[in-house]
Amino acid sequence: MSTKKTNDDLLERLNLSRRSFLKTTAAGGAAVVAGGLVELKTAKEANAFAYEPYPKDDELETVVTSCAHNCGSRHMLVAHKWKDVIVRLSTDDGRYQRDGHFGKDSLEEPQLRACLRGRSYRQRIYSAERLLYPMIRVGERGEGKFKRISWDEALNFVSKKMIHLKDTYGPTALLDQSYAGASYGVLHKSDQIEGLLGRFLGMFGSRTNSWSVPSYQATTFSSRMTFGTIEDGNEDDAFAHSKLMIMWGWNPAYTFHGGNTFMYMRMAKQRGCKFVLIDPQYTDSASAYDAWWIPIRPNTDAAMMAGMAHHIFTNNLQDQAFIDKFVQGMDAGTMPDWAEGKENFNDYILGTYDGEPKTPEWAENICGVAAKDIRKLASMYAETKPAALKASWAPGRNAYGEQYNRMAAALQAMTGNIGILGGCAEGVGKAWHAEAVAYPYDQYANIWFQSIKSDRWAHCVLNYPNVKREEIGLWQRQDETDGQIPNIKGIFWQGSDWLNQLTNINKDLEAIKKLELVVCMDSTITPSGLYADILLPIATHFERHDTALPWYKGHYYIHRPKVIEPMGESKTDLQVFTELAYRIGGDVFGKAYNPKASRDYFHVNDNVDEAYLREWWETKVIPHQHVDMSWDEFKQRGVYKFNLDQPHVAFRDQIENGTSFQTASGKIEIFSGQLAQITDWKKTMYGYEIPSIPKWIEPWESLNSPKIKKHPFHLISPHPRWRTHSIFNNCSWLRETYEQEITVNASDARRLGLKTGDIVEVWNDRGKCVVPVYVTERCMPGVAVLHEGAWIDLDENGVDRAGNPDMLTLDEPSPAGAFAYNTVLCDIKKTDLEHRPGWDKLATSRAHVFRRDL
């Protein structure tokens, strides 16, 4: 079919005849074509549009793109632009896909509708906090005083410093703290494994890597040990097929985890699925799915699960045939021959080893859930088929959080709910696999000279060289540098606001003073950026060419053209690293880092980016994934949706066809052979012992700890709905939909004399923050909830006036690397200290506190 014919068909089918498509010319440069002319008449009759002038969508140019933050989903955004300005954003309405039409929203190819965060992108890209020019620090570090400099000065400064630090302190001097804030494209990536920065620093020869994932290291570890892979997830449409869904600490109404998961769950509800929520809060997910709410003390989930396992074993409710066939170490009969004398899960639960049967009554003492409810839930889960126990990430962000995830996997396995439609082995939840990398991913990618647990950098910097390898979770190396403590002297932030987001901010602030170079590459001036030496303005994903992947569920690609020209003097990450490579190592480094580019890439990047993306589509996507859409057609439509034969279910092949799991034994390892054979824990990246079967281990702080005499509240810091971590905190549209507030139970509030809206201080020995309080019956007594990601705003005494919970968190991770974000005790009282919400609250209506019917 000729291109013209294809175009004409598209125009007709998509009913877009009045629109103009984004055209990428042969020169690859002109992303902008003239939009339809906008007639801006002043109305003369009483039927005018409510506010004139008002350009209608069909008078504007339409460009399909997507959101791009690190949240849990990836949805379509449709930019309606006039010249080089995005006038408004809409989302998927069924028109853009192949054979689409307005309103098409089938179960196989649902619309990819963006959430409130995605819809507010215009406020982010056009915000006052937008970083538009390279800036260099002129005051003390953290004072927030910068002056504008040229790119030339900025890049010379960075490259000279890099060379100096590497020459003086060696190959571990530069700490890679890139993260996913600018990530999830295939070309412009920021993360620790596939990121652009990792490859750049690795090639340069000085990089300390940060290996633990703040959000979900517990379940990553658990799934690797149990299933041999982190791809333990079902596709979102599989969630429509459960008869029982246990949402363990899971709040998709806030996180929007994965494509259309929440919508398919609604479908399950309409088909009669029962929902259960185990959580210290009665969340919006609980109300929307009409769930049985079981409030639980934070950090005690593994104990409740052990109680459920006890009930299932002692009533013989387990799926023994499944266990015998697929599971290692669930009971004595499924232990491997070599493991004589090692513990199995059944005997642990029954108390054979320690004389302590993990009965529901035993569990009740720890987790606060009535034994009868533990029994009832265990019976429901064992007797309903198929049933999904969705073990979410939040309860894993704890001291010994990996035990919760390992215990969940044991329950999933003993009830035979793995590998079947309507069951669930999540976990991590990663499902359908996208082709993720379009830039050169070669022998230089993810080279590191030491690798540490991500939240131990400050500990390492402050105590160097008197640091033990287990304290920082040093990853094992196969050469003579194994065990050498990294001498960190500089930090790179690429797409990361980690100073604001890691644990124990006060300690981070101490450590950052000791560094000699702090580089922040971002499109926004973040709280971290204020502590940088140099700020490099990075083009947002609206200002560079890329393709979007689903975040962890959903099966589609969304094209991301350059919707508008980069604002100010912004450049892409890839442009910056390429230019730095040329400045540091001339043509050799420059060409190796970016083989398709020439020396002028810093100024002209469109052709090269197009070449990488086209090659990726034509050599990876089309052949590997049986895609029959050309790159040009994809670019024109903006989206490609896969139509799968059946819902993707993790481990279906293992269960239906008997193929091996990816573990050493080929089975689901409730008894982990890998862990059982470790003899010197200090030499592992874990540093400390981890049992080879799931066990309840008392966390260092909880409501059961004697420490509650001093700090009686357990503070948890879940992901907010109105931000993605710290991203979007500066968007007033989102700010007026919520308050950064600490949630407490009404009985606690009465005792403390608090009512909703009162300003309180929240503190422990590590730090203090100031926030308004929200009083509700929907939260467990003794628990306080403060959402993560508020932008720190410190007063002269180091008190955070904006309410960031990481002022109070502890920077000691769990052995497996899980951040202990939710293992925090604190106290709360009414205060006269200043609270600064960070935006003009008075400017808004307050409908969100309207009619809270207490």
Segment 746 to 765, residues that bind other proteins, using CB under 8 A: 746-747
Alpha carbon of 787 to those of 265, 404, 506: distances in Å?
Answer: 25, 22, 18
Considering only residues 828 through 847, tell me which ones interact with other proteins, judged by CB under 8 A.
Answer: 839-840, 843-845, 847
* Percentages of the chain per state (helix, strand, coil), in multiples of 5: 35, 15, 50
Least separation in angstroms between CB 111 and other proteins: 8
Alpha carbon of 251 to those of 223, 257, 286, 388, 701: distances in Å?
Answer: 21, 8, 8, 15, 24
Identify which range of 108-116, 144-152, 239-247, 590-598 contacts other proteins by CB under 8 A. 108-116
- CA 159 to CA 204: how far, in whole Å? 10
**3-state SS class at 60:** coil
Token pair recorded at residue 823: 């293992």
Asked if 525 is part of the footprint of other proteins (rule: CB under 8 A), the reply reads no
Looking at 2, 39, 49, 628, which residue binds other proteins (CB under 8 A)? 49
Identify which range of 346-354, 590-598, 652-660, 730-738 contacts other proteins by CB under 8 A. 730-738
H/E stretch holding 64: strand 61-66
Least separation in angstroms between CB 252 and other proteins: 8
Nearer to other proteins, 233 or 252 (CB): 252
Asked if 56 is part of the footprint of other proteins (rule: CB under 8 A), the reply reads yes
> Is the peptide bond prior to 252 cis by the omega test (within 30 degrees of 0)?
no
Least separation in angstroms between CB 778 and other proteins: 5
Nearer to other proteins, 376 or 683 (CB): 376
User: What's the CA angle centered on 129, arms 128 and 135, to 5 degrees?
Assistant: 120
Looking at 733, 752, 833, 837, which residue binds other proteins (CB under 8 A)? 733
> Is the peptide bond prior to 298 cis by the omega test (within 30 degrees of 0)?
no
DSSP per-residue codes, 235-246? PGGGGGG-SEEE
- CA 78 to CA 69: how far, in whole Å? 16
Asked if 119 is part of the footprint of other proteins (rule: CB under 8 A), the reply reads yes
**3-state SS class at 173:** coil
Considering only residues 61 through 100, tell me which ones interact with other proteins, judged by CB under 8 A.
Answer: 88-91, 93
Looking at 336, 781, 837, 838, which residue binds other proteins (CB under 8 A)? 781
Nearer to other proteins, 459 or 541 (CB): 541
Nearer to other proteins, 351 or 781 (CB): 781
Least separation in angstroms between CB 92 and other proteins: 9
Considering only residues 257 through 316, tell me which ones interact with other proteins, judged by CB under 8 A.
Answer: 260, 262-263, 266, 269-270, 282, 284-288, 290, 293, 295
Nearer to other proteins, 122 or 768 (CB): 122
Considering only residues 684 through 723, tell me which ones interact with other proteins, judged by CB under 8 A.
Answer: 721
598 burial level (CB within 10 Å; 0-12, 13-18, 19+) = middle
Looking at 60, 76, 115, 749, which residue binds other proteins (CB under 8 A)? 115
Asked if 104 is part of the footprint of other proteins (rule: CB under 8 A), the reply reads no
Residue 454: CB partners within 8 Å, gap ≥ 6? 177, 210, 211, 212, 213, 214, 498, 502, 819
Do residues 499 and 505 touch, judged by C-beta distance below 8 A? Answer: yes
Considering only residues 158 through 197, tell me which ones interact with other proteins, judged by CB under 8 A.
Answer: none
DSSP bridge pairs for 357 = none
| Residue 3-42 contact track with other proteins, rule CB under 8 A, x = bound | ---------------------------------------x
Sign, CA torsion 720/726/728/733? positive
Considering only residues 667 through 686, tell me which ones interact with other proteins, judged by CB under 8 A.
Answer: none
Report the candidate in 246, 281, 285 with the shortest Cα–Cα distance to residue 262: 285
Least separation in angstroms between CB 364 and other proteins: 15
Least separation in angstroms between CB 729 and other proteins: 14
- CA 233 to CA 432: how far, in whole Å? 8
Do residues 10 and 51 touch, judged by C-beta distance below 8 A? Answer: no
Report the candidate in 804, 798, 810, 818 with the shortest Cα–Cα distance to residue 707: 810
Do residues 84 and 126 touch, judged by C-beta distance below 8 A? Answer: no
Identify which range of 2-10, 117-125, 537-545, 761-769 contacts other proteins by CB under 8 A. 117-125
Least separation in angstroms between CB 189 and other proteins: 26
Nearer to other proteins, 363 or 485 (CB): 363
Nearer to other proteins, 113 or 397 (CB): 113
Looking at 152, 777, 795, 834, which residue binds other proteins (CB under 8 A)? 777
Do residues 246 and 377 touch, judged by C-beta distance below 8 A? Answer: yes
Nearer to other proteins, 295 or 329 (CB): 295
Alpha carbon of 629 to those of 6, 267, 626, 632, 637: distances in Å?
Answer: 12, 31, 9, 8, 10
Nearer to other proteins, 128 or 321 (CB): 128
Token pair recorded at residue 382: 């064992």
Least separation in angstroms between CB 608 and other proteins: 33
Token pair recorded at residue 732: 């007033």
Least separation in angstroms between CB 380 and other proteins: 18
DSSP bridge pairs for 742 = 773, 786
**3-state SS class at 641:** strand
- CA 629 to CA 823: how far, in whole Å? 49
Nearer to other proteins, 115 or 670 (CB): 115
Instruction: Report which DSSP code applies to 486.
Output: P
Least separation in angstroms between CB 86 and other proteins: 10
DSSP bridge pairs for 148 = 135
Nearer to other proteins, 13 or 88 (CB): 88
Considering only residues 470 through 509, tell me which ones interact with other proteins, judged by CB under 8 A.
Answer: none
Nearer to other proteins, 286 or 534 (CB): 286
Least separation in angstroms between CB 272 and other proteins: 10
Nearer to other proteins, 488 or 780 (CB): 780
Least separation in angstroms between CB 545 and other proteins: 24
Least separation in angstroms between CB 639 and other proteins: 16
Nearer to other proteins, 691 or 718 (CB): 718
378 burial level (CB within 10 Å; 0-12, 13-18, 19+) = buried
Least separation in angstroms between CB 284 and other proteins: 5
Least separation in angstroms between CB 360 and other proteins: 18
Looking at 8, 9, 12, 58, which residue binds other proteins (CB under 8 A)? 58
Q: Number of residues interacting with other proteins: please give it, by CB under 8 A.
A: 76
Residue 479: CB partners within 8 Å, gap ≥ 6? none
Q: Phi-psi region for residue 674, left (φ > 0), alpha (ψ -120 to 50) or beta?
A: alpha
Least separation in angstroms between CB 102 and other proteins: 6
Considering only residues 203 through 262, tell me which ones interact with other proteins, judged by CB under 8 A.
Answer: 252-253, 256, 260, 262
Looking at 1, 26, 50, 321, which residue binds other proteins (CB under 8 A)? 50
**3-state SS class at 774:** strand
Asked if 853 is part of the footprint of other proteins (rule: CB under 8 A), the reply reads yes
Strands 767-776 and 742-745: parallel
Asked if 54 is part of the footprint of other proteins (rule: CB under 8 A), the reply reads yes
Least separation in angstroms between CB 710 and other proteins: 25
Nearer to other proteins, 55 or 205 (CB): 55
What residue type is assigned to position 35 of the chain? G
- CA 433 to CA 499: how far, in whole Å? 31
Identify which range of 313-321, 352-360, 415-423, 726-734 contacts other proteins by CB under 8 A. 726-734
436 burial level (CB within 10 Å; 0-12, 13-18, 19+) = middle
